[in-house]
Structure 1
Amino acid sequence: MNSFFQSIGLYTSKNIEININIAELNKGLRKITYTTNTTFISLISDSTIPTRFEYRGIVNEKNFTIKRRRHLFDINLNYPVIKGSLYDQNTITTVSLTYIPSPFQIFTFILLLCFFIAAVAVNVKNGGQHLSFIAVSSLMTGTQYFVLKREIIKGKYDFERELSSISQEYSSVVH
C-alpha cells in the first residue's frame, strides 16, 4: 500500500543528517512534543494543549511518531503523521523520516474515490445522462487529493525547519 501512496505522491520518506547526537535531538523533540497516544484521538483536544508544544505524539530514544497539533481557530485538518527513526554515527545523527496522511484522511480519500467510481458506474448504466454527478464527485476526489498532497509537502517543510532550529539551538550551546 505504501508503494501505491508513494507513486501518487501521498507518502514521502527522506534521510536527514544533523550535527548533534541522539540525546540532544530527543531532548529537543520532547520540548516541542506533547505526549499522547499515537492514534491521535484522545480526550484532550488540541486547543487545550499548552502553546509551547507544536506537535503531539510519542518520542522514544530511537524513534518517534508525531503529528502537528491544531491551534484554536485553525481550519487546517490535514496535517500528516511523521514517523522517524534515529541512527547515531559519532556526533552526526541520521534521521529517517516518513510523512504519511493519517488513517482518517486515507479513509476519507478512499471513500471519495469509491463515490467517484460509483458515479461513473451509474453514468455508464444510464447512458451518460448524469454528467453533473461525475463532475461533482471528480471535483471532490481531486480536491481531497491535492489538499493531502499539499499538506504532506507543507508538513515536510515545517518539520525539517523545526529539526534545523533544534540543531542550531544545541550547536550554539556547545560552541
Structure 2
Amino acid sequence: MALAAAMLSARGSYAGFEVLTATEPNTWTAGTVDLSVAPASLQLSIEGAIPGSFGSTCTRVTSTGSLPAQVRLYLKGADLGGDGLASHVTLRIDEGTGGSADCGDFVRTGTVYNTAGMSDTAKTVAGFSAVAHDYATGAGSWNAAPNDQRSYRFSWQLQDDNAAAGRTLTARFTWEAQSLSL
C-alpha cells in the first residue's frame, strides 16, 4: 500500500484547460488597372490620298479599373508598318473632352504631340513613334481615377513630297495604364 501511495505522489496530479479562438477568414483582393477605348478601333483610313489630303478622327479612353493609374499613349516601332509613308504623314494629337469618332463634340484641352500643328512637317507618324515608343517615353500622361475619361483627336495631313507616292502606312497606337502608388 505504501508503494501505491508513493507512486501516486510521484506522478503528481495535473489539471489543464485550453481554449482556442480564430478570426473570420481573411480575404485579400488585388485592385485592377484597365482601360477601354471607344470606338474600339481608331479609324485613320487613308486611301488614294493626294498631297495635302488631311483628316481627323477621335476616340475616348476610359479608366475601367478599380485603382488610380497613370495613363500614357505611345506607338511601338513593331506597331508601325508599311513601306515608308509614316515619314510623310504629319500628325497632331490633341486631348480633351467629347470623343465621338467624327470629332463633332471634341473640345481640346491640350496637345499631346505637335503643338505647332500641320505646319510642322517634322512631326510625323514615324516621328511620334521615335519619341513615344513605350510606357517610359509615352505622351499625354494623365492620372486617371476609376471611370475617368479622356478623349483624343488624331489629325493627319499627307505632305507634298513625291517620295510618298504609292507608299503605305499602318499604325496601332497604344494607351497603357500603370497603377499609382497609394
Normalising by structure 2, report the TM-score. Answer: 0.21
Q: Which has the higher strand share?
A: 2
Q: Which has the higher helix share?
A: 1
Question: More relative contact order in 1 or in 2 (CA 8 Å, sep 6+)?
Answer: 2
TM-score by length of 1: 0.22
